[in-house]
């Protein structure tokens, strides 16, 4: 399989910053549309949805990095931290939009929602689990936590599953879009136990997967 041309090392740092900048464009654009009255229907809900959807997309993208390398030899590991942190910033903005613009900081109503509406309970649980991951997404924490860091960051699978479930439960009728996210997350989770065997098999083939071998 032809591999993608590798980005010269000197551009790695710049490309990561570019990803952060581009990754925040949907939020900025959505905010602009909302503030100028160009979002259809209920602008607060539209903005809240946009942020939630991008949070989920970045979570899926974060989980896709390892299978992309295993299956297609595309090594974008250097972007994984940025994707995970973008997911965190989007969840945080989604949560703040819900608290401030949707619920007007009515803490009693917010707490009731979190306790009584299962999809919000699940979303909140995902957000709470994301916080330690975001706080430890730096080289210092990786060194400090050692093998514990890897264990802690496995929570991202639970978070993505909770995020996709939250999305499916947030709507009255589960449509194709929610099913796609649920299926994607399920596939990415399923890849974890398959991965070691696949990589052993790939090494046996000198690093080249041979899909059509008998």
Q: How far is the CB of 25 from ligand HEM (least distance, A)?
A: 18
Characterize 24-54 residue by residue with b for buried, 16 or more Cβ atoms within 10 angstroms of its Cβ, and e for exposed: eebbeebbebbeeeebeeebbebbbbbbbbb
Q: How far is the CB of 190 from ligand HEM (least distance, A)?
A: 20
Please give the C-alpha separations between residue 191 and each of 84, 97, 171, 183, 196, in angstroms, as whole numbers: 18, 34, 28, 12, 9
**Helix-strand-coil percent breakdown of the chain, rounded to 5?**
80, 0, 20
Q: How far is the CB of 31 from ligand HEM (least distance, A)?
A: 16
Q: Which residues bind ligand HEM (CB under 6 A)?
A: 45, 48-49, 52-53, 55-56, 91, 94-95, 98, 114, 120, 123-124, 126-127, 159, 163, 166-167, 170-171
Contact 68, 76 (CB under 8 A): yes
Give the nearer residue to ligand HEM in terms of CB position, either 84 or 163: 163
Give the nearer residue to ligand HEM in terms of CB position, either 1 or 173: 173
Q: How far is the CB of 168 from ligand HEM (least distance, A)?
A: 9
Residue with CB nearest ligand HEM? 52
Give the nearer residue to ligand HEM in terms of CB position, either 80 or 166: 166
Give the nearer residue to ligand HEM in terms of CB position, either 154 or 203: 154
């Amino acid at each position: 399989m032809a591999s993608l041309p590798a980005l010269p090392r000197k551009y790695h740092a710049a490309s990561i910053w570019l990803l952060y900048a581009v990754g925040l464009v949907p939020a900025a654009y959505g905010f602009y549309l909302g503030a100028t009255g160009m979002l259809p229907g209920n602008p607060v809900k539209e903005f809240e949805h946009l942020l939630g959807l991008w949070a989920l997309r970045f979570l899926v993208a974060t989980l896709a990095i390892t299978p992309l390398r295993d299956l297609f030899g595309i090594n974008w590991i250097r972007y994984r931290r940025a994707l995970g942190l973008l997911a965190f910033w989007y969840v945080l903005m989604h949560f703040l939009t819900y608290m401030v613009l949707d619920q007007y900081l009515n803490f009693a109503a917010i707490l009731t929602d979190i306790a009584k509406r299962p999809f919000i309970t699940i979303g909140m649980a995902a957000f709470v689990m994301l916080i330690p991951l975001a706080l430890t997404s730096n080289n210092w924490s990786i060194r400090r936590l050692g093998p514990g860091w890897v264990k802690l960051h496995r929570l991202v699978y639970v978070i993505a599953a909770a995020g996709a479930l939250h999305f499916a439960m947030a709507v009255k009728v589960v449509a194709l879009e929610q099913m796609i996210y649920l299926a994607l997350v399920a596939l990415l989770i399923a890849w974890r136990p398959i991965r070691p065997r696949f990589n052993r098999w790939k090494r046996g083939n000198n690093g080249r997967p041979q899909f059509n071998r008998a």
